[in-house]
């Protein structure tokens, strides 16, 4: 077999998709970030059980809380988008359906992520 790739392309080892192990690495990176962030958000929600609306609003408008929520949303949505793409690639066999599912996955992640970010910013910036 004649190798059509340049020596530089071969040594980079990133194949035709040009992304190499980025997918794998970002899934782990976001997973590492998610561990403390999920624990924080879960603890926050438990601490707010039984609280009235004013308390919840005051809590969610604290800058540190807003920032940690935003970090979880960014890291979490990125993580779930990669994970769902992997599930789609494993189980959806038809090319058309696979394409539609991957588009849907991206749209879902974008809508949920943006909706959460907007709500957190509105609470934090005193809407």
Partner 1 sequence: MAETSAKAPGRARPLSPHLGIYRPMLTMMMSIVHRITGGALYFGTLLLAWWLIAAATGPEAYGVFMDLATSWFGRLVLFGYTWALIHHLLGGIRHFIWDMGKGFELSAVEWMARLSLAGSIILTLIVWAVAYAMAGGL
Where along the sequence are the contacts to partner 1 (CB under 8 A)?
Answer: 28, 31-32, 34-35, 38, 42, 46-47, 49-50, 53, 56-57, 60, 69, 76-77, 80, 83-84, 87, 93-95, 108, 112, 115-116, 118-120, 122-123, 127
* Four-residue CA torsion sign, 90, 95, 97, 98: positive
Between 7 and 52, whose beta carbon lies closer to partner 1?
Answer: 52
Distance CA 65, CA 61 (A): 7
Q: Where are the beta strands (DSSP E) in the chain?
A: none
Task: Report, in Å, the least distance between residue 116 CB and partner 1.
Answer: 5
Between 32 and 67, whose beta carbon lies closer to partner 1?
Answer: 32
Transcribe 101-113 into DSSP letters: HHHHHHHHHHHHH
Task: Report, in Å, the least distance between residue 101 CB and partner 1.
Answer: 12
- Write the DSSP symbol of residue 5: S
Task: Report, in Å, the least distance between residue 10 CB and partner 1.
Answer: 25
Distance CA 32, CA 75 (A): 9
């Amino acid at each position: 077999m004649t190798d059509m790739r340049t020596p530089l392309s071969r040594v980079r080892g990133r194949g035709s998709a040009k992304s190499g192990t980025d997918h794998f690495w970002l899934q782990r990176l976001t997973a590492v970030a998610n561990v403390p962030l999920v624990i924080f958000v879960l603890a926050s929600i438990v601490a707010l059980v039984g609280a009235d609306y004013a308390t919840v609003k005051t809590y969610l408008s604290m800058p540190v809380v807003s920032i940690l929520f935003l970090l979880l949303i960014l890291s979490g949505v990125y993580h779930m988008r990669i994970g769902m793409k992997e599930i789609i690639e494993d189980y959806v066999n038809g090319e058309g359906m696979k394409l539609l599912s991957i588009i849907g996955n991206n749209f879902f992640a974008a809508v949920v992520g943006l909706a959460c970010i907007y709500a957190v910013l509105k609470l934090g910036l005193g809407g």
